[in-house]
Amino acid sequence: MWTVFRLFRLVYSRGMSEPRWLSPQEMRAWLGYLEATNLLERQLERQLQDEAGISHAQYDILSTLSASPERRMRMTELAAAVIVSKSGLTYQVGKLEKAGLVRRVAHPLDERGVLAVLTDAGIALLERIAPGHVRTVRTFLIDALSPDQLGQLAEITSAMRERLRASPG
C-alpha cells in the first residue's frame, strides 16, 4: 500500500508537477476508500454466492427490476440504472434468464425494444436472500459508522455521484 505512496512521492520530488500528485492525507483517503470498498464488495459477493449462487451485479438487476413498474424495464434503461454496459447487461440477463429469474420480451410499442421482466421465481429468490444482503450491508457498513459518520458518508457519496454523473463517458 505504501509502495504506491513512495512512488508518487519520488516522482513528485523530482519536480514533475503534472499530474497533481496526491498528498499523504489524500493518498490515505484514496487507498482507504479502495480497500474498504473492495473488502465490502467481497463480503457482498460471498453472501450472495453462498445464499443464492448469484453475483452482486445480478442481485442489482433483480432488485432494480423488482422496484420498477410491473417488474419490467427496457434493457437500455436497466443498463443505465445498474451502471453497466449494454453488452454486460445482456450477458448478466442471459444468465438470469437461464436460471428462470428474468425473461426478455419484445417491447409492445417499439419493435426494436426489449424488456427485461422479473419472474415470480426471481421475486421469490429476492424475498429469500434480501434479508441476508441487508444484514451484510448493515454489519460491514452501516453499523461500523456513527450516525454522524453515516451522514458524512451520505454527503460524500452524493458529491462524488454528482460529479461522476456530470462527467462525459
**What ranges in 14-85 are assigned the alpha helix state H?**
24-52, 56-66, 75-82
Per-residue confidence in pLDDT tens, the chain, 169 aa: 556 556 555 555 555 557 889 999 999 999 999 999 999 999 999 999 999 999 999 999 999 999 999 999 999 999 999 999 999 999 999 999 999 999 999 988 888 889 999 999 999 999 999 999 999 999 999 999 999 999 999 999 999 999 998 998 6
Which pLDDT belongs to residue 112? 85
- Looking at the structure, tell me whether residues 63 and 119 fall in a common domain: yes
Q: Do 127 and 72 belong together in one domain? A: yes
Cell of 125: 429468490
Structural domain span for residue 49: 1-12+24-53
- Residues with Cβ < 8 Å from 121, sequence gap 6 or more? 99, 100, 101
Domain count across the chain: 2
Q: What local confidence, expressed as pLDDT, does residue 168 receive?
A: 85
Report pLDDT for 169: 67
Same domain assignment for residues 124 and 67: yes
84 and 32 belong to one structural domain? no
Terminal Cα distance for the chain, rounded: 29
Is the domain of 125 the same as that of 79?
yes
CATH of the domain at 112: 1.10.10.10
Residue with cell 508537477: 17
The confidence score (pLDDT) of residue 4 equals 59
Find the farthest-apart pair of alpha carbons in the chain and give their distance in angstroms, rounded.
63
68 shares a domain with 39: no
Return the pLDDT at 166: 92
User: What is the distance between the alpha carbons of residues 142 and 136, in angstroms, rounded to a whole number?
Assistant: 9
Residue 152 forms part of a structural domain: no
In this structure, are 45 and 106 located in the same domain? no
In a domain, 162, yes or no: no
Q: Are residues 126 and 62 part of one domain?
A: yes
Bridge partners, residue 117, by sequence: 72, 103
Q: Give domain status of residue 169, yes or no.
A: no
Give the predicted TM-score (pTM) of the model: 0.85
Are 4 and 72 found together in one domain? Answer: no
Residues 54, 92 contacting (CB under 8 angstroms): no
The pLDDT score that the predictor gives to residue 95 is 97
Do the domain assignments include residue 102? yes
Q: Could you tell me if residue 68 is inside a domain?
A: yes
Are residue 62 and residue 125 in the same domain, yes or no? yes
Both 7 and 38 in one domain: the answer is yes
Q: Is 92 found in the same domain as 45?
A: no
